[in-house]
Structure 1
Amino acid sequence: MASHQSGKLGEAEALYRLVLEKAPRHTGALTLLGTLQAQLRNLEEAARLFEISLKVDPLQVNALYNHGIVLEELARFDDAVDSYDRALALAADSPEIFNNRGNALAKLKRFAEAVASYDRAIALKADFPDAHFNRGNALAELKRFGDALESYERAIAIAPGRPEAHLARANMLAELKRYDRAVEAYDRAIALDPGNPTILNNRGNALMQLARRYDALDSYERALALRPDYPEALFNRADALSELGRYEDALKSYAGAVSLNPGLAQAFPYVQGSMACTRLRLCDWAACEETIDRIAERCIAGDKVLVPFGSYMLRDSALLQYHCGRNFVEDQNPASRHPVWQGERYAHDRIRLAYVSFDFREHMVAYQLAGIAEHHDRSRFETTALSLYPKAAGAIQERLRNAFERFVDVGDRGDIDVARLVRELEIDVLVDLMGHTRGARMGIFAQRPAPVQVSFNCPGTTGADYLDYLVADRIVVPPEHHPYFTEKAVYLPDTCQPNDSKRPAAGRAPSRGEAGLPERGFVFCSFNTSYKFRPAVFDVWMRLLLKIEDSVLWLSSGNATVIGNLQSEARARGVDPARLIFARRIDRMEDHLARQGLADLFLDTLPYNAQTTAADALWSGLPVLTCLGGALSGRVAASLLAAAGLPELITRSLEEYEALAISLAQDPGRLRQIKDKLAANRLACPLFDTARFTRHLEAAFEQMCRMHRQGEAPRHFAVAPISTAAAG
């Protein structure tokens, strides 16, 4: 014993074996030798010695306990639980045995039983940090993140110097969507363990959710400096780089992650889709067309390979968008088994509306919703904005706070906390403005906190059964497309895209020279972002330049690789790359609107149409030519044109699209008539009549509530048009 206790393990082993030569059934020597073999990591031998000892005397608590530890390390978890249970039958007051029993149960994925075992340990020893920490781990596996957080905080209160507890606490705060507090907790963990790349990686993830992309990138870089072969950090770094527009670096980082871990698709199933979408952002079409086909096939087959936003970019397919949404919701935000709203009936004098968005900031959605909120009839509706964005100040935030009756910053609250707030406020209609875009919190809606839940202003189906309705129009969602939507379509009479009638007017128009355009020649333009450009449409554009002498194509400026790739694609089609003009970035919307007057015709994209960009062009007086696609994201521009009174600019094939573009470019009189019509319609057409749009939207909400009160299940329906006078 003395040799063993003093660390002279070889000497102790010799002495134990000497005893056993003389007395093979000496339980003390058998048990101590088993313990020594466990220390030497001779686990099979240790287990054999404990088993012999326990056959001789099955009532040895220490032997049973240590045997359980060895069995657990041998991954014989059921046997370990049995050994711990036998030990507890003899020593029911041992918190250590209950704690280890909980560990074995957790490894068997019997997490609820593990929690009960940890509870017994804590009842015996309240200041037992290991039991609190392990209990937190089991609760986290049960997705009881709030309870897990409390356990980790108790562990930290008892033993504040353990970085793993601070890391676990930070992870739970992130799971609860309390990202600001999570970052603070990661910082405390880093202070205790500055060489831990996992903490830095997870900190980066929280910062990404706060839209602090540069800080997130720095965190990932620090993690990789500590561990260059860290595939998860490389993958996350790639996401951050992509968000920052550094697409070439993002691709390298994705590729590095995959090369380090070819099975990364198991941990990050969306990596292939992310890489394909990044190549599209670079207009690197040749490198991804074949990959896109495989991704689409796998997605439709039910594989989790593509996030929903990517499906709008990859294919003009309502079927693909449907399956992509379904797969993603099932993977990330399945419906809660314990809905927050339990069927209670509300009796409100006014319908209580709540809009949920991460984009109540300097973003197009904020301007669209501000106009609606200002026009809501407060005698019939009580309006609430639930802002997921970190609290910020600015002109648009001030406008929104004045427009809504209640503006609540909930970005630092978890999904369940926000859902409970919705229930406490007795919201009748909860409106999602995000779909699956950056900053979305579909998990709030998955809790079913409101009797009626609506998807509005999103580019496709959410794929979520807990969203009852989709605000649509008959162009973006024709009745034959109903099978591709989990939501029921609610048809507004004009268009389903809101537009703010208070948007700024165009500023001073620059000269062609100031805008970088040639002094003469027809100007085609497309100010869509680069990921919306695809080869089939680009083919048409290049044929237009070849057909229309001295014409140019005016595009938004991208990074150097995007510009270079587009110039190469033009050259490959026989077009001088100099005929592609890249507009410099302008900060003021008034100036951007003003320069659009220099263009002659806006060419829309497919499969992903211009949306707000198309509305901007029409507002500035620039006609938009579109081709009607096969999915919602490819049909929005047609909806806008119809509402602007310009259905003649909607084509139904790329051949018709090309022919009409040539005709308009060759017939200045006809194009002038269209521009004059647009100028005359702009202030009177439904597209920019925010009051009319709001009245139609309110009629939709009222019908939803009426059907709910009458016990009707959600169904497709149409809102009848109202007169302009009634809208006023």
Structure 2
Amino acid sequence: MCNLGLVLTARGDHADAEAALRRAIAIDPGMAAAHGTLGNALLGVGDLRGAIAAYRKALQIEPRFVEAMVNLANALLLSGRPDVAATPCRQALEVAGGLTEAHILMGNIHASLGEEALATASFHRACELAPDNADAWCSLAASLESERRWDDALACFDRAWALQPDSGPAISGGLLLRKSLFRWDDLDSWSARFADGVKKGLEGLTPFIYLAEPSSAREQLECARLWSSHIENRTAPLRTRLNLSHRRQEKERITVAYFSYDFRRHPTAYTKVGLFENHDRARFNILGYCNGPDDGSDIRHRVINSFDGFQDVAGWPPGEVAKRIHADGVDILVDLKGHTREAPTEVFALRPAPVQVNYKGYPGTIGGGFTDYIVVDEFVIPPEQRDSCSEEVIYLPETYWVDDSRRASPAAPPTREELGLPPDGTVFCGFNNSYKIRPEVFDDWTAILREVPGSVLWIQNSNPGSSLADNLKAQAVERGLAPGRLVFAPRLPLRQYLALLTVADLFLDTRPYNGHTTASDALWAGLPVLTLPGETFASRVAGSLLHTLGLTDLIARSRDEYRAVAVRLGRDAAERRSLRERLEIAKGSTPLYDTARLTRHMERAYEKMFRTFLSGRPPRGFRVPPLEEPFP
């Protein structure tokens, strides 16, 4: 029976394996291997408590059972108890110090505890013990990346890829860091590897990274489907076990819950807190769930206070989070993370709420059957592109963008001289993240600088300890531009960062991944933004902002027009002043920064979503009319 259970567990037949193993244990309760394998079977169906109990029983019978120690540590880590998991993992290493798997697990435990240097040391030891283990090198690379050691991380991702060319994590990490560091010498081959991997169905290709690649909306959908399908398959046994059902009943107030990792000093918190605060409490009960860290910031406290109920679920296993959301009676669960880092996608795959929505945290489709709607406007996803989304598309009037009308104003700006900028020359600002600045974008920027004498390009150096700045200077020289025409700005707190934007003359947007919050920040600070939209959602957000403001002359239709407009504005200070005046008027007269109005539109959408659920009809896309028009 024990051997049968082992075979069934290896095959993934966890329910049958559990039955066989329980029969074996009934015959011989002292068989440590049977208890250990039972733990594996229970883990396979998402029963963490049962798995932990089984591993502990195995160790009670056989205290030096190394496999059970490692599996117990892993189950404890998955249950959100990394501090407790450290003990059996260390015990395993005391018995079998050369066990690569235990060193990798110890690294994951340290990472969960926020002990980045110790995590890196554990992963490094795993690579020493198993230099041909691609997973160990990927783990080390990810840890180094979290320590901001980007150049070292890239070398490790490259080592992992050399060992395993079909490793999705290695391809994803290698591509992202090449772009982040402006390492463009072999970028095209890495972009091709990612695109080919999507076509081949490789696991571990991060959809977020594909947003900044020259890919179509349909290709991004396929990448998202691939990622989400693996999550759905992995969580299917637990979803079956939980069996979270949803009653269709009228309510006086609809319970809407917002879920994010980033209720802290982060654009998600700064831009969305006004939405949470402006909801009509007579019609809606507003909850918040956060699986990220509490940084103790003012914005964290403001976000928490904006909810009628808030639950910190950091470290909770997905099943426990889903059960809590379900028990709280959430009617509509809003995903503010999508496929970005630390996204709670496994929770959404468990279907804790009857209606689940993708909104603004991720500029693309989720690609999974567990998300019903995506909320956008007609600029970011034109009607002809609706089939590039797995969700039903909800169109808000005017704009889908939400920002806080009470947000901080810029601090008093430093002088240009203090910032290392020319006192009179045109300052072109390119403050988007470095991974968004592709070679063809930099080609256009250097061409613009050559046509505007005395101008400079102002870029944020997001990682001063890396080769980022030196690499971009070398790229400028290759394009015939003196490296002194590039000026690098440090990362600063929000109000000081906004003050920098007031000093620049024109914000040059990137493609195919625009500035989103960064573009909104620039416009809020009074800095005009020049953009070139593409086909995909991520490439059209800045254009949506400008369209709402009525500044459509800053939405270029081609690369030639983008360069020509930038050069014209770079040479004409009077036209730039006129643009700033138009922008200031538009900010006060258009809906872009009218948080209360956007909230009313969202509430109309939520009410229709919930009515559709109550009716028993499947989700269907629709348009929300402006407040002045009736909405049956």
Pairing 1:491-502 to 2, within 5 Å after superposition: 491-502=395-406
Give the superposition deviation at 1:99.
Answer: 3.0
**CA distance in 2: counterparts of 1:502 and 1:324, whole angstroms:** 37
Moved more, 447-456 or 185-194: 185-194
Match of 2:160 in 1: 257
Query: Out of 428, 433, 443, which is 2:336 matched to?
Result: 433
Indicate how the Cα distance of structure 1 residues 362 and 297 shifts in structure 2: closer, same or farther if over 3 A, else same.
same
Give the superposition deviation at 1:210.
Answer: 6.2
In the alignment, structure 1 residue 324 sits paired with structure 2 residue 213: no
Indicate how the Cα distance of structure 1 residues 376 and 106 shifts in structure 2: closer, same or farther if over 3 A, else same.
closer
In the alignment, structure 1 residue 476 sits paired with structure 2 residue 380: yes
Pairing 1:182-261 to 2, within 5 Å after superposition: 182-183=85-86, 186-187=89-90, 189-190=92-93, 193-208=96-111, 213-259=116-162, 261=163
Match of 1:619 in 2: 524
Moved more, 590-599 or 218-227: 218-227
Indicate how the Cα distance of structure 1 residues 651 and 107 shifts in structure 2: closer, same or farther if over 3 A, else same.
closer
Query: Out of 277, 294, 319, which is 1:416 matched to?
Result: 319
**What SS class does the counterpart of residue 164 from structure 1 fall into?**
helix
Q: Deviations over 1:172-213 (max 9, x none)?
A: 234455555545653454455555332221232345456654
Give the superposition deviation at 1:346.
Answer: 3.1
**CA distance in 1: counterparts of 2:13 and 2:284, whole angstroms:** 48
Match of 1:525 in 2: 429
Pairing 1:80-479 to 2, within 5 Å after superposition: 98-106=1-9, 111-142=14-45, 144-176=47-79, 179=82, 181-183=84-86, 186-187=89-90, 189-190=92-93, 193-208=96-111, 213-259=116-162, 261-262=163-164, 265=166, 268-304=167-203, 306-334=205-233, 336=236, 338=240, 340-391=243-294, 393-457=296-360, 458-479=362-383
**CA distance in 1: counterparts of 2:558 and 2:546, whole angstroms:** 16
**CA distance in 1: counterparts of 2:528 and 2:446, whole angstroms:** 20
User: With structure 2 as the length reference, what TM-score do the two structures score?
Assistant: 0.92
Indicate how the Cα distance of structure 1 residues 529 and 106 shifts in structure 2: closer, same or farther if over 3 A, else same.
closer
Match of 2:471 in 1: 565
Structure with greater Cα Rg: 1
Query: Out of 567, 573, 593, which is 1:688 matched to?
Result: 593
Match of 1:607 in 2: 512
Give the superposition deviation at 1:161.
Answer: 4.5
Query: Out of 381, 395, 415, which is 1:511 matched to?
Result: 415
**For residue 270 of structure 1, what is the amino acid of its counterpart?**
P
Match of 1:581 in 2: 487
Tell me if structure 1 keeps the 8 A contact 2:333–2:355.
Answer: yes
Give the superposition deviation at 1:331.
Answer: 1.8
Match of 1:705 in 2: 610
Indicate how the Cα distance of structure 1 residues 652 and 149 shifts in structure 2: closer, same or farther if over 3 A, else same.
farther
Give the superposition deviation at 1:270.
Answer: 3.2
Indicate how the Cα distance of structure 1 residues 106 and 622 shifts in structure 2: closer, same or farther if over 3 A, else same.
closer
Tell me if structure 1 keeps the 8 A contact 2:413–2:499.
Answer: yes
**CA distance in 1: counterparts of 2:196 and 2:449, whole angstroms:** 35
**CA distance in 2: counterparts of 1:105 and 1:308, whole angstroms:** 33
Alignment size in residue pairs: 623
**CA distance in 2: counterparts of 1:319 and 1:210, whole angstroms:** 39
**CA distance in 2: counterparts of 1:678 and 1:141, whole angstroms:** 56
Give the superposition deviation at 1:310.
Answer: 1.0
**What SS class does the counterpart of residue 682 from structure 1 fall into?**
helix
In the alignment, structure 1 residue 541 sits paired with structure 2 residue 445: yes
Tell me if structure 2 keeps the 8 A contact 1:295–1:305.
Answer: no
Indicate how the Cα distance of structure 1 residues 172 and 400 shifts in structure 2: closer, same or farther if over 3 A, else same.
same
Tell me if structure 2 keeps the 8 A contact 1:316–1:608.
Answer: no
Give the superposition deviation at 1:459.
Answer: 1.5
**What SS class does the counterpart of residue 352 from structure 1 fall into?**
strand
Give the superposition deviation at 1:423.
Answer: 1.5
Match of 1:27 in 2: none
**For residue 506 of structure 1, what is the amino acid of its counterpart?**
P
Q: Deviations over 1:434-482 (max 9, x none)?
A: 1111111211111112111000111211111110001111111111111
Moved more, 290-299 or 620-629: 290-299
**CA distance in 2: counterparts of 1:423 and 1:160, whole angstroms:** 39
Tell me if structure 2 keeps the 8 A contact 1:162–1:192.
Answer: no
**CA distance in 2: counterparts of 1:275 and 1:201, whole angstroms:** 20
Indicate how the Cα distance of structure 1 residues 461 and 213 shifts in structure 2: closer, same or farther if over 3 A, else same.
farther
**CA distance in 2: counterparts of 1:333 and 1:564, whole angstroms:** 43
Give the superposition deviation at 1:593.
Answer: 1.1
**What SS class does the counterpart of residue 401 from structure 2 fall into?**
coil
Tell me if structure 1 keeps the 8 A contact 2:160–2:170.
Answer: no
**CA distance in 2: counterparts of 1:181 and 1:325, whole angstroms:** 35
**CA distance in 2: counterparts of 1:608 and 1:577, whole angstroms:** 25
Indicate how the Cα distance of structure 1 residues 676 and 392 shifts in structure 2: closer, same or farther if over 3 A, else same.
closer
**CA distance in 2: counterparts of 1:188 and 1:393, whole angstroms:** 35
Indicate how the Cα distance of structure 1 residues 209 and 658 shifts in structure 2: closer, same or farther if over 3 A, else same.
farther
Match of 1:3 in 2: none
**CA distance in 1: counterparts of 2:332 and 2:82, whole angstroms:** 27
Indicate how the Cα distance of structure 1 residues 647 and 186 shifts in structure 2: closer, same or farther if over 3 A, else same.
farther
Indicate how the Cα distance of structure 1 residues 388 and 275 shifts in structure 2: closer, same or farther if over 3 A, else same.
same
**CA distance in 1: counterparts of 2:569 and 2:10, whole angstroms:** 70
Tell me if structure 2 keeps the 8 A contact 1:340–1:419.
Answer: no
**CA distance in 2: counterparts of 1:672 and 1:300, whole angstroms:** 48
Tell me if structure 1 keeps the 8 A contact 2:416–2:422.
Answer: yes
**CA distance in 2: counterparts of 1:657 and 1:583, whole angstroms:** 24
Tell me if structure 2 keeps the 8 A contact 1:341–1:451.
Answer: no
**What SS class does the counterpart of residue 651 from structure 1 fall into?**
coil
**CA distance in 2: counterparts of 1:188 and 1:494, whole angstroms:** 60
**For residue 641 of structure 1, what is the amino acid of its counterpart?**
L
Indicate how the Cα distance of structure 1 residues 534 and 544 shifts in structure 2: closer, same or farther if over 3 A, else same.
same
**For residue 198 of structure 1, what is the amino acid of its counterpart?**
E
Indicate how the Cα distance of structure 1 residues 101 and 332 shifts in structure 2: closer, same or farther if over 3 A, else same.
closer
**CA distance in 2: counterparts of 1:131 and 1:685, whole angstroms:** 68
**What SS class does the counterpart of residue 283 from structure 1 fall into?**
coil
**CA distance in 2: counterparts of 1:682 and 1:183, whole angstroms:** 53
Indicate how the Cα distance of structure 1 residues 216 and 501 shifts in structure 2: closer, same or farther if over 3 A, else same.
farther
Q: Deviations over 1:397-430 (max 9, x none)?
A: 2112211111101123221221111221111101
User: With structure 1 as the length reference, what TM-score do the two structures score?
Assistant: 0.81
What's the Cα RMSD here?
A: 2.5
Indicate how the Cα distance of structure 1 residues 626 and 206 shifts in structure 2: closer, same or farther if over 3 A, else same.
farther
**CA distance in 2: counterparts of 1:321 and 1:275, whole angstroms:** 19
Match of 2:567 in 1: 662
